[in-house]
């Protein structure tokens, strides 16, 4: 069914791209697979996103919102009275306890930046945003180290399928925080 006026089409295309990557991986993403998943004409995907990298950038931006929403909902990173290591460990636990497919998708898109330079600025935005938040509570070097540690712990949990150990994460994070 043709839709002449479809203000939500761009968003449906992004959502479909996220579904395709989540179900089939980035290697199977194409304008054609996304158009089919979004139930839009093929030309709509190329109209809104000239290249697959443009589409992946939009998908990564949206996927990055998952962790950002967890951070915003808890609010503990801003509170100087909150134990920073405990708050970060709790944030990771909440994020990893969420929809596992969504968490894996966020990481897959994040890591895709290794091979797709167009994604690097978006991946860097996520790390920079978290480091900026942490810099309000500690120095900039420690904030960057904490971001790297959060990345590493999350990847280890996802890759090994081991359960997240919040106590371990809290202990390791405390070792980095002066």
Domain ranges in the chain?
1-50, 52-176
pLDDT digits (tens, 9 = 90+) for 146-175: 999 999 999 999 899 789 999 999 999 999
| The pLDDT of residue 85 | 96
pLDDT at 51 over 70: yes
pLDDT at 143 over 60: yes
| The pLDDT of residue 37 | 95
| The pLDDT of residue 93 | 93
Q: What is the pTM of this model?
A: 0.81
| The pLDDT of residue 4 | 67
For residue 22, name the pLDDT band (cuts at 50, 70, 90): confident
| The pLDDT of residue 100 | 73
* 50 vs 103 pLDDT, higher one: 50
Distance CA 76, CA 58 (A): 28
| The pLDDT of residue 3 | 54
| The pLDDT of residue 99 | 73
pLDDT at 98 over 90: no
CATH number, domain 52-176, options 1.10.357.10, 1.10.1270.20, 1.10.275.10, 3.20.20.100:
1.10.357.10
CATH superfamily, domain 1-50, is Homeodomain-like (1.10.10.60)
């Amino acid at each position: 069914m043709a839709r002449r006026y479809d203000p939500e089409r761009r968003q449906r295309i992004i959502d479909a791209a996220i579904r395709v990557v989540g179900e089939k991986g980035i290697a199977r993403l194409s304008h054609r697979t996304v158009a089919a998943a979004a139930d839009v004409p093929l030309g709509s995907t190329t109209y809104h996103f000239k290249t697959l990298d443009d589409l992946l950038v939009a998908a990564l931006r949206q996927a990055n919102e998952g962790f950002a929403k967890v951070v915003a909902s808890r609010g503990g990173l801003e509170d100087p009275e909150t134990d920073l290591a405990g708050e970060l460990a709790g944030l990771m636990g909440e994020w990893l306890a969420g929809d596992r497919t969504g968490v894996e998708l966020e990481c897959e898109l994040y890591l895709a930046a290794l091979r797709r330079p167009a994604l690097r600025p978006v991946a860097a935005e996520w790390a920079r945003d978290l480091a900026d938040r942490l810099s309000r509570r500690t120095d900039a070097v420690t904030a960057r180290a904490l971001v790297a540690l959060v990345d590493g712990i999350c990847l280890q949990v996802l890759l090994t399928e081991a359960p997240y150990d919040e106590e371990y994460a809290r202990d390791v994070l405390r070792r980095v925080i002066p």
